[in-house]
Amino acid sequence: MNKVLRWTLMLFFLLFTMLAFAQEDFSADLVDTSNGKTSPKTKIYATTDKLRFEPQEAGPQHAVIVDLSTHMAHALMPDRKMYMEFPEEQTPGAHRWTRELFRPSDPGNACSEWLKLPANQGGSCKSLGSETVNGRSTIKYEGTNAKGETGYAWVDKKIGFPVKWQSKDQSWELQNIQEGSQPLKLFAVPADYQKFQMPAGMQTMQRPH
């Protein structure tokens, strides 16, 4: 599986259950801090009900656009002027991912929405109070899903997005957060891009079990 496809699937698995929101638009660096290591950064742009991810790594550049209202993801391949489209019902293995990353409509009451997500029904959630993370004012939450897996999220009060989240095996942070409106062209597939058609075998593999 090529790098573009791996990134597309990983991000879409994490994000397709996020809720629509109306907080501040922003851009930031998404950093994997798991196991005390710092991975290459991923640039993230957020506006209304769309997100854009641009991994900052060597090799051909690419981007992933996620539409939270339609539950669709598009992977852009600028070097080939092509894109791939992933509807929610065709995401492979989505049930294997913990859905910890979401954007609540009310940062001060994230538990009520988190508990509505299918993977978390039957679990528990509680606020642990205010905490400052990288200079940002956040509310720390502890959530335990139906399988007994516990994770933590620090939801920024202004942008309504976790600036830090942590589970048993993973931890991520948003760094270099810049508030402000984002260019609409970042969240649309360029008109001159051609859609990449998946081979029949891969289309079958994408269907959830």
Q: Indicate the pairing of strand 63-67 with strand 82-87.
A: unpaired
Task: Please give the model's pTM, rounded to 2 decimal places.
Answer: 0.74
Helix (H) or strand (E) holding 3: helix 3-15
Alpha-carbon distance of 142 to 167, in angstroms, equals 10
> What is the chain's pLDDT, residue by residue, as a tens digit (209 residues)?
455 444 444 444 444 334 334 468 999 998 888 877 667 788 999 987 888 988 887 667 888 888 877 878 888 999 999 998 887 544 433 333 233 346 677 888 888 877 877 777 788 999 999 999 989 999 999 988 888 889 899 999 988 888 998 888 888 899 999 999 999 999 999 999 999 876 655 544 444 44
Number of domains composing the chain: 1
**Looking at residue 113, what is its pLDDT?**
79
- Reported as a single tens digit per residue, the pLDDT across 3-59 is 544 444 444 444 433 433 446 899 999 888 887 766 778 899 998 788 898 888 766
For residue 144, the enclosing domain spans 3-206
CA-CA distance, 30 to 26, in Å (whole number)? 12
CATH of the domain at 131: 2.50.20.10
